Amino acid sequence: MTSRGRAEARDLLKRRGRVNATPYVLILPSLAIIIAFLIIPILQAVVLTFTNTSLLTRQNARFIGLKNYIDFFTGSNFGRVFTATFVYVVGGVTFTYVFGLFTAAILHNNFVGRGLARTLLIMPWVVPQVVLVIVWKWMFNPKYGVINFLLSSIRLVPVDFSWFSSATFGMAAILITTVWKQYPLALLILLAGMQSISKELYEAASVDGANPIQKFTRITLPGLRYVTTVLVLLLTVWHFGNFVIVWLMTQGGPANGTATLTIFTYLNAFKFDKLGVGATVGVIALLISLIFSAVYYRLFVRGLAVE
């Protein structure tokens, strides 16, 4: 090796030995924000779960171990809260996806006024949740609501039927409102997925004599597999953590029958003045969400990526 070659080799080794600090400096602001507003509050919440802290007398808190967890899992509200959460998440995700898929399949076809129809169908997504709930609560009003008027006119419900007097119909009203708010998200994602499917597949299927239903089940649905997997995960996480719609519709009532984990967290922490119990429910909800997301990603999203 010549002297010039040896010098170049030494320079290369020096460059390899240096650590480029620029990427680490650039991520410091984001990392600091995440630590300050996410990691530290989560750790503080975990600490609160082992105490009997109340909102107004935090200085008098004392360590009680796992009592908050034991009381929650053995309490009378455990079954109702988990049932409400399960029904809301599963029902909301299922109906949102089905309605979004149905509307996306319609808008995927060419027809007069398709642009206007697309604009009108995504309008619920831009309506603020508070305004949305006000409108739907007025529509569900037992005295002058338009929904009761229509249903009572065909004798499906009594004239003064109250949707919020029972947990079953209260949850039904919440699901209707939620699906109306969320389906445009499913519509847009599924419509984008449909437009990415090659038209040649549909043309070949037409040559083979396939009808529209066969094209939908044999081409469209398999072509939406990856989009569906990601969409279901997004919808599940959103429904699991949604607070505004459920709280403004029923505040978890009657008798905690529509109280999801997020609602029950708020009730204990800020209404019943049991900050430790509220933190416990919140941590349990966080753990369930993280475990579900990790398992779902490993079983479905990662599997599709490998394929």
Looking at residue 19, what is its pLDDT? 58
Q: What is the pLDDT of residue 277?
A: 93
Lowest mean pLDDT among 25-29, 56-60, 283-287: 56-60
Q: What percent of the chain has pLDDT over 70?
A: 91
**Of 7 and 207, the one with more pLDDT:** 207
How far, in Å, CA of 227 to CA of 106, rounded?
A: 18
Q: Which long-range contacts (CB under 8 A, 24 or more apart) does 169-174 make?
A: 170/249, 170/250, 170/253, 170/254, 170/257, 170/258, 171/84, 171/87, 171/88, 171/91, 171/257, 171/258, 173/136, 173/140, 173/249, 173/250, 174/88, 174/245, 174/246, 174/249, 174/250, 174/258
Please state the pTM of the whole predicted model: 0.88
List 232's β-bridge partners, or say none. none
- Is-contact 105 212, C-beta < 8 A? no
Please check whether residue 193 is in contact with residue 223, taking contact to mean a CB–CB distance below 8 angstroms.
yes
Q: Which domains, ranges and CATH numbers included, belong to the chain?
A: 58-306 (1.10.3720.10)
Could you tell me what percent of the chain has a pLDDT over 90? 51
Average pLDDT of the chain, as a whole number? 87
Model confidence at 7, pLDDT cuts 50, 70, 90, reads low
pLDDT digits (tens, 9 = 90+) for 213-269: 888 888 899 889 989 998 999 999 999 999 999 999 999 988 889 999 999 999 999
Is 290 a residue whose pLDDT tops 80? yes
Q: What is the pLDDT of residue 173?
A: 95
Q: What is the CA radius of gyration of the chain?
A: 26
Statement: residue 15 has pLDDT above 80: no
Which residues in 250-273 are b (16+ Cβ under 10 Å) and which e? bbbbeebbbbbbbbbbbbbbeeee
pLDDT at 91 over 90: yes
Q: How many CB atoms sit inside 10 A of residue 80's CB? A: 18
* Preceding peptide of 124 cis, ω within 30°: no
